[in-house]
Amino acid sequence: MRRETLVTMSLLSTVEMAPKDPIFGLSEQFGLSTVPNKVNLCVGVYLDETGKLPLLNCVQAAEKLVLNESKARGYLPMDGLASYDAAVKGLVFGADSAVVSEGRVATVQAIGGTGGLKVGADFLYRMNAAGAASSGGQPKVLISDPSWENHRALFTNAGFVVETYPYYEAGRRGINAEAMFGALETTEAGTIVVLHACCHNPTGCELNADQWARVVDIVKSRGLVPFLDMAYQGFGEGIVEDGAVVNMFVAAGLDFLVSTSFSKSFALYGERVGALSVVCSSAGDASKVLSQLKIAIRTNYSNPPTHGASVVATVLNTPELRSMWEAELGNMRVRIKAMRLALANGLVAAGVTDDVSYITEQSGMFSYSGLSESQMKRLRDEFGVFGLDSGRICVAALNDGNIAHVCASIAAVM
C-alpha cells in the first residue's frame, strides 16, 4: 500500500510522452515500415546515385593524415580548434575578407549547425533579456513562414517568443517578397530575424539579389538583428555564390550572426561539425562577444569534440584536398540538379498535368512539393515514399533506381 502511494507520487510518473520530431521521428517510422520499395526522402541527407551515404575521398585522405599524427585527445579550447575556426572564417567570409583580417569576427566551433544556432540563441537571450525585461517585453525571434522545423523549438527553448514573417505563398509556388518586406518594415527594433542564407529549408525558394538587398536595407534601417542560418553552402549554385548573402550583410556594416555546418557539404553528418560566427563593429567588441560565446559553450557542453573539426580543417587548409572537396561538392550539386529535372520530367510522364517548373527553379536539397499532409501520409502508408507532413521532400535522396516509383506514387496521390 505504502509502496503504491510512493509510486503514484513519483515525479517521473507524471512525465508525458513527447511528440515525435517532425523530421527524425518520420525517419524512425521509415525504418519500421514494411512497405516494399520504400524511399526515405524525410531528412536532409545527400545520398549518391546508388542510394548510399557517401564518404568523400577528401575526407578519407584527411582522416589518414589525422590518424597518422596519432594525437592524444586533450580538451579543445571552449571555442574549438583554432585552425578549424580560421578555416571557417575563410570559407564563410572569403579568403581576403577585411572583417576577418581586422579581427571583427568571433568564430567558435559548434556541435553542428544546430549547435551554432543554440550557442547564438543562448548568447542573444542573455544579451537581450535584460533590455527586453526593462521595457516590459520578452525578447523576440522571427523565423520565415515556413522554416526549418527545429527553428521554432530551438529559439523557444532558449527563452524567446517566436513569431513568423511571411515567406512562401502556396498559390504562387514561390516567395511573396512584398509581404515579407512589409512585415519586416513594421518589426520592432532589436528583434532577431532568422534568415536562410541559401537553399531555403524547407521550400528551396530563394530571394534574388535585389530582394536580398532590400532585406538588408530594411534590417539596417529598422535596427533588426540578423541571424543567418547557412547549413547548405555549396549545394545551391556554388561555394562563393551561396555565401554571397553573408557578404551583403558585411558590406552594409551590420553586426550579425551566422551559423554554418559541414554536415551536408562534407557528408559528415554524424561528426557534428558546425560553427557560429558573429560579425562585430570592432575587434574590441569581437573579443568581448567571444568571451560570452565561451560561457554559452561551457554551460551547454563545455568544449567541442576533436575529430570532425580536425578532418575539415585538414581538408580546407591543404590545397590539394581542398580542390578535391570542391570537385566532390560540385558533383553532389550537379547530381541534385539532375534529379530535380528527372523528377519534373518523371511527374509529367506519370500523368501530372500541373506546371512542375517550380521543381527545377528551387535550390538546394529540398523541394516543397505542394502536397497536403494527408497526401504525404498516403505516400508513406500506401507507397512507402517518406517525405515530411509539410510536403517537403529531399531531392538529394533521389536516384535512377527510385525516381520512377517516387514519380508514379506522387502522381497517384495528386
Which residues contribute to the site for ligand LMR (CB under 6 A)? 23, 43-44, 148, 150, 201, 231
Here the cell at position 108 is: 567558435
Q: Which residue among the candidates 148, 212, 294, 325 is catalytic per the annotation? A: 148
- The residue (of 105 and 397) whose beta carbon lies closer to ligand LMR is 397
Burial group, residue 308, by CB count within 10 angstroms (0-12, 13-18, 19+): buried
CB of 392 to ligand LMR, least distance (A): 8
Q: Which residue among the candidates 122, 229, 242, 389 is catalytic per the annotation? A: 229
CB of 150 to ligand LMR, least distance (A): 6
Q: Supply angle C-alpha 234, 239, 240, rounded to 5.
A: 150
- The residue (of 38 and 220) whose beta carbon lies closer to ligand LMR is 38
Q: Which residue among the candidates 89, 118, 264, 294 is catalytic per the annotation? A: 264
| Alpha carbons 260 and 274: distance in angstroms, whole number | 5
CB of 120 to ligand LMR, least distance (A): 16
Here the cell at position 388 is: 515530411
- The residue (of 24 and 291) whose beta carbon lies closer to ligand LMR is 24
- The residue (of 112 and 243) whose beta carbon lies closer to ligand LMR is 112
- The residue (of 214 and 264) whose beta carbon lies closer to ligand LMR is 264
CB of 391 to ligand LMR, least distance (A): 14
- The residue (of 148 and 256) whose beta carbon lies closer to ligand LMR is 148
| Alpha carbons 143 and 148: distance in angstroms, whole number | 9
| Alpha carbons 377 and 127: distance in angstroms, whole number | 42
Output the residue with the shortest Cβ distance to ligand LMR.
44
- Secondary structure string (H, E, C) spanning the chain: CHHHHHHHHCHHHHCCCCCCCCCHHHHHHHHHCCCCCCEECCCCCCCCCCCCCCCCHHHHHHHHHHHHHCCCCCCCCCCCCHHHHHHHHHHHHCCCCHHHHCCCEEEEEEEHHHHHHHHHHHHHHHHHHHHHHHCCCCCEEEEEECCCHHHHHHHHHCCCEEEEEECEEHHHCEECHHHHHHHHHCCCCCCEEEEECCCCCCCCCCCCHHHHHHHHHHHHHHCCEEEEEECCCCCCCCHHHHHHHHHHHHHCCCCEEEEEECCCCCCCHHHCEEEEEEECCCHHHHHHHHHHHHHHHHHHCCCCCCHHHHHHHHHHHCHHHHHHHHHHHHHHHHHHHHHHHHHHHHHHHCCCCCCCHHHHHCCCCEEECCCCHHHHHHHHHHHCEECCCCCEEEHHHCCCCCHHHHHHHHHHHC
148 is catalytic: yes
229 is catalytic: yes
325 is catalytic: no
Q: Which residues are marked as active site?
A: 148, 229, 264
